Each structure stands twice: as structure tokens, then as C-alpha cells.
Amino acid sequence: MLKIKFTATYDGTAYYGWQRQNTKETVQGTIEKFLYKIFQKEILTIGSGRTDRGVHAKRQICTTTLPKKVNLVKLQNSLNSLLPDDISISEMAIAHPDFHPCYSATGKIYRYHISTKKILNPFERHHHFHYPYALDIKLIKEAIPLFIGTKDFSAFANQVGKNCKTPNPVKTIFSITVTEDSGGFSLTFHGSGFLYKMVRNITGALISYGSKRIPFEKLKAILESKNNIHNLFQAPAHGLCLEDVEYSSCGN
């Protein structure tokens, strides 16, 4: 038996999220389908976390256990030749026996892309949330410190326990960075981990504040309530991308 670690990169537009489902096309299910074709037996994978329907990933870290030793370069090439064009395996290596793509993670980085152009570029439609309305970026930057640090983010999670780690609503956000360009901006979230739909809910709240639909006092009260009963605007899935997953030096 051989435990390997690999990195999956994918455009999530055509998939019902990462996690395998019996009747719907998912990224994990697609990878496992072609692993079966190669090995002629079921090969299960584990990812660093779930991404929802329509969410993308540059570096989804995964592991699997193979029934025999193989040439990993040949395996990677074979798998990539079978996978559809919107999924690729960019890295593959032998994993440490104790490595787990989710439990060994020390941090994750997500980026949310927002287009503020009057007319959306068709090539961006699957990767940017189009918001062509009045939006004050200065207000968004003003509100960001409210979310930095170790806090109970229950109010910004659809389901607190729906992730691969212990269902603990207390997470640490190290930073949220705003990057502006001529067509809009992106929000980069760097944290210890994120609850189910937490990034999309915080993004939606920041957009609501930046468009002056809710006051700062309400934004603060929602966070402090620790209760997701506020019917927040949730930013749509297709603007979100899992950029990277971080591990300690021994987590290889």
C-alpha cells in the first residue's frame, strides 16, 4: 500500500462541489472515477475540505492510498490524460503516513472576485460576482478589522458542524486583504480554517455595508449575536476560489 499526496486544480462551474455524491457530478467523484479506470478497483480520496457547487480551487490538497507501488510521474500523466479539461492534478508525491489533508492543515487562503464594471466581461462570468452598483471600497476596508482575530463566527456559518474538522465555531482570521483593479476588486481571506459558507457570508456582509444597506452597528451586532438568524446577503459561489492550504514543515 502506498499513501500519496496530490494537488487538484479545478474550475468548479460544471460540478456540484468537491464531495462525491451518488447521483451528481462532483470533482472528487470525477477523480475517483478515473482512478478506478486506471487501477480497476475503488480508490477513495480525501480532500483538505469541501468546496460548494460552482466554487473553484487552485490548490485543493488531497491524499489517497494506492494498492501497490507505482511510478507517480506516469500515474499523474495518465490521470491528467483522462480527466476533463476543467480538472488537473498539478502535483503528486509520497505522503508521510501521519499526514491528513484536513486535520494537518494550519491555514487556508480563499479569494473572492468581484466585478464592478457596468457590463461584465463574458470571460469572467464564471469566476467573478458581478455587482455593478454603488459600492464604497473605503467602507469595506473600514469594516474588515471587525472580522480579524479569533472569534466565534457562528453568525456567518450556514451550518457550524458541516466541515471536516471538529465542529468548533471559533476560528481565527489572520487577514482580509482588498486588492483593487480597473474592473473591480478581490477579497483574500487568510485564516486557520473556515466554517461552512463563512467566506461567502462575510463577503456578502461587507458588500452590504459597502453599499450602505446596513450600518456598522448592525454588522457588529450580527457578529456578536453568534446566531445565524439574520438573513444575510450571501455572495454567490462562482466568485470564490480556494487559493492554497498551509501546513507546518512536518506536514508533508
Which residues carry out catalysis?
52
- In this structure, are residues 212 and 140 in contact, taking their beta carbons and an 8 Å threshold? no
Which residue shows C-alpha cell 454567490? 236
d(CA 151, CA 220): 12
Kindly list the distances between the CA atom of residue 139 and the CA atoms of 68, 182, 207, 210, 212, in Å, as whole numbers in the listed order.
56, 18, 9, 5, 9
Instruction: Spell out the residues 6+ positions from residue 184 whose beta carbon is closer than 8 angstroms to its own.
Output: 113, 114, 115, 116, 117, 128, 131
Element (H, E) at 201: helix 198-210
Which residue in the block uniquely carries the three cell numbers 480520496?
45
